[in-house]
Structure formats: C-alpha cells, structure tokens
Amino acid sequence: MNYYSLNKKAPNTTFEDAVVRGLAPDKGLYFPESITPLAPSFFETIEDKSNTEIAFEAIKQFIVPEIPEDVLKTIIEETLNFDFPVIKINENISTLELFHGPTMAFKDVGARFMARCLGYFNKTNTKDVTVLVATSGDTGGAVANGFLGVKGVNVVILYPSGKVSDIQEKQLTTLGKNITALEVDGVFDDCQDMVKQAFMDTELTSKMQLTSANSINIARWLPQLFYFMFTYKQLKSKGKELAFSVPSGNFGNICAGMVAQKLGLPIKHFIAANNANDTVVNYMISETYNPKPSVQTISNAMDVGNPSNFIRIQELHNNDFDTLKANLSSYSYTDDDTKAALLELYNDFNYIADPHGAVGYLGAKEYLKEHDAHVVFLETAHPTKFLDVVEDVIRKSIELPPQIAAIMDEEKVSIPIGNYDALKSYLLH
C-alpha cells in the first residue's frame, strides 16, 4: 500500500516513510491510495472472531508486507491488551468505554500501535527519531506511555500551560527517560502551530529526523478504526442500525470510524459532537470552512479551532459536500450543557461520564430526535482525569483507579517555552 499527500504536491510513498515522516514534504497529510472493502462474510461472522483477529484483518491491507504479518499480529496483540466494553445507557443509547488502557484514554490504542511500528522500523536505524507532538489533554500522556523506553526514539510533548487537567499534566510530565514535556504559554492551537512550523523548518529537518505522534500520523490515526468494529461485534445481535456519536476535537477518531465504514462496517451515520469549538458545526451549515482560535472549555481535549483531520474526512467523501452531509451531523454544546448531561447520566442512569463523553451523549440524544437507530457515544477518557469538574457536578467523590493513583505523588518536570524560537532552540541544543 502506498500513501499520497492530500496537498497533491509530493510523491507517493510507503507506509514506513509516511510513519517516519509524519507529514509529507509538501506538508500535506498522508492518505492511503485505496481502501478495499472486506468480504461481507467477515462482518456476517464477526462475533466469532477475537478482537486481535478483527483488527489484523481490518488493517493488514494498509501495512503488510512492509511489516510482516507475524510482526503485525504481535504489534496488535500488544496494543490491544485491554477491554473495550459497550455499556447500555437506555434502549436507544449505549456508550463505548475507551479508557481501560494504561493512560485511561482512547488514544492508548493509536499511541501504542504507532510506537511499536516506529520501533520496528527503527531497529536497524542508527539515527535517532524525534517524535514531536502537541496535546490538548490525553494525547500527551498516551504518547509518553506508548513510547517510553523505545530504542532510538525521543519524544517531545508540547502542552498549553494551565489548560490541561492536573492528572493529564502528571501523565506527560513525570515519566522522564526519553520523554520531555514543554509547557507552552498559550493554547493548544499555538502548540499545534509550533509543531507544524518545525516540520516546515528546513534548518531543523536537515539536522534531525522529526515525526509526529498526533493523529496526523497515519500509524496513530488508522488503528482507531478497530474499536468501531469491536462495537459492532458486541451489538450486532440487537438488529438495529448503528450510529456513532464521537466527541470531536482534531477529528481523527471519527475519521478512523469512517475508514471502518469504507471497509464495509454497517454504520448508518456519524455525529460529530463538539463543545464551543464549532468550526465544523458551522461548516456543515454554511459549507464555508472558517477555522478560528480555540476556546477553552471543560472538555479540553476538544479545544481545537482548526481540526487537522477534517481534510481526510472530506477526501473520504470525494470532497463532495452533499455526500458528507448525508453521512455526518455536527452539533455544538456549551459547558453548561455538558454539566447538565453529566448530571443526567449520573442521576437517571447511574453512569459517571467524563465531560467529553457527556458531549457525545448530547449528540446521541439530538440525533435520535429525528432518526431511528441505536447510537453509541464514545466515552474517550476515564472521569477521574477530570476529577474537579465531575465531582463538582455529581457531588460524589470518585476513587482514583490504580493507573492514576500511581502517578499523583510523582514530581512534575517541564520546560516552559513561549514561542517557536524557544522550541527550535531546545530541539537544536
């Protein structure tokens, strides 16, 4: 499988090169040359397959033979060593819990998968690779954990000072070894802009091998399609059409679900559930894409004003607005809406969600007002990662799970930076 740049000004390349580069030379996102649907029999018998078997069949066309089948199977087994339970909320709504991994966020899947792919490609490489990643919350911790101790890989994480939760900050600033946290005086978009600028800086890229572990990287993004298939496996016997309400920030997660749909997974519709950062909501109304500065909210991982992966979503729909509109709805909610949803889930269904899952729940309810389906909203992080918000709303103390409790007494180590020159100076030091 080769990959092409969505800017269409760079040569097509291999999976390995796409993973190692992160971005194409023309600064476009990589996209697979083709997506071949799986045989209908695969979905007809999906309940008889293990999660690792499902994942292998779903992703092998994008990766084999560059990574041999036996190695890919091992990578998948190591990536998926935790559960993906679907929890019933009511007759028409369920939630897919994606927080049972080591950092208790959905990004564990992509980060662990990418780290193992890069480790495989790097085993014969004498030159270190620097993974440069911007985070609005959970990406940093998942990437730090996934890449911790990987030979020949140094990880540099940029995060906005004061705009991630205390637990999220602990997860990306306490590991040491090959992980460095840069605390940026700004918002997530500033972090993301600095990362993009670094990739465009030829003085920098001529001296070091940079790659990205944000969802712009093909190996971070694609494996997220797995758990949409795992959901279908669990709910297939219900017999109702499935829709997914996905809390959306950089739009990589929902985009991966659309790849699963292209592979033949029977998904009726996607709902992009947004907080006050409503660039895509406005686009779906006006057909005018107008990125704007991000706004800080209590669902901080979605505080993205210019989602990188939306161009991939457009490509999946042949850049045709009407085709996209038939497959995607997008709604926006305030912090007050989110808090009300957290309380409703707790009081009415005895379910403790995190703020991002609560936004997904609101999207599910809104879609069901006019459509008949079973909607699954993605619960993307454990509620204790947003302890102050959740406990304040539901008026109940939540016990810290072991993965979180283990880091709370660790010392934060970060380097404050204010602009791109400071980032460049650090990278070249």
**pLDDT, average across residues 21-31:** 92
The pLDDT score that the predictor gives to residue 297 is 95
- More confident site: 376 or 429: 376
End-to-end CA distance of the chain: 37
Residue 99 clears pLDDT 90, i.e. is over it: yes
SS3 307: coil
- Would you say 150 and 129 are in contact if contact means Cβ atoms under 8 Å apart? no
Structure tokens at 222: 């694609």
- Would you say 246 and 304 are in contact if contact means Cβ atoms under 8 Å apart? no
User: Residue 89's closest CA among 394, 369, 379, 367?
Assistant: 379
DSSP state of 36: P
Residue 70 clears pLDDT 80, i.e. is over it: yes
H or E segment and range at residue 2: strand 2-5
Note if the pTM is more than 0.75: yes
Give the C-alpha separation, 13 to 290, whole Å: 31
- Would you say 285 and 228 are in contact if contact means Cβ atoms under 8 Å apart? no
The pLDDT score that the predictor gives to residue 137 is 74
Sheet with 13-14: strands ordered across? 13-14, 2-5, 30-32
Structure tokens at 221: 């993004």
Q: CATH number of the domain at 83-104+221-400, please?
A: 3.40.50.1100
Question: Is residue 107 annotated as a catalytic residue, yes or no?
Answer: yes
Give the C-alpha separation, 13 to 122, whole Å: 17
Q: What are the residues whose beta carbons fall under 8 Å from the beta carbon of 56, sequence distance 6 or more?
A: 69, 72, 73, 76
Pick the catalytic residue from 107, 196, 262, 339.
107
Q: Calculate the CA 31 to chain-centre distance.
A: 16
H or E segment and range at residue 61: helix 51-63
The pLDDT score that the predictor gives to residue 63 is 98
**pLDDT, average across residues 147-152:** 88
- Would you say 275 and 333 are in contact if contact means Cβ atoms under 8 Å apart? yes
**pLDDT, average across residues 384-408:** 91
The per-residue pLDDT of the chain, averaged, comes to 94
The pLDDT score that the predictor gives to residue 407 is 87
Counting runs of H as helices and runs of E as strands, what totals does the chain give? 20, 14
Cα angle value 273/279/280 (rounded, 5°): 55
Burial annotation 84-123 (CB, 10 A radius, 16+ → b, else e): bebeebeebbbbbbbbbbbbbbbbbbbbbbbbbbbbbbbe
**Would you put residue 350 in left (φ > 0), alpha (ψ -120 to 50) or beta?**
left
Read off the pLDDT of residues 199-222 as tens digits, 9 standing for 90 and up.
889 999 999 999 888 888 999 999
Cα four-point dihedral sign 242, 247, 249, 252 = negative
Read off the pLDDT of residues 292-322 as tens digits, 9 standing for 90 and up.
988 999 998 899 999 999 999 999 999 999 9
**pLDDT, average across residues 162-168:** 88
> Up-side HSE of residue 38: CA atoms within 13 Å toward CB?
23
pLDDT band at 120 (very low <50, low <70, confident <90, very high): very high
Q: What are the residues whose beta carbons fall under 8 Å from the beta carbon of 129, sequence distance 6 or more?
A: 20, 118, 122, 152, 153, 154, 209, 210, 211
- DSSP string for residues in 229-297: HHHHHHHGGG-SPEEEEEE-SSSHHHHHHHHHHHTT--EEEEEEEE-S--HHHHHHHHS----------
Residue 267 clears pLDDT 80, i.e. is over it: yes
Which residues are 328's β-sheet partners? 270
The pLDDT score that the predictor gives to residue 405 is 87
pLDDT band at 239 (very low <50, low <70, confident <90, very high): confident
- Would you say 111 and 213 are in contact if contact means Cβ atoms under 8 Å apart? yes
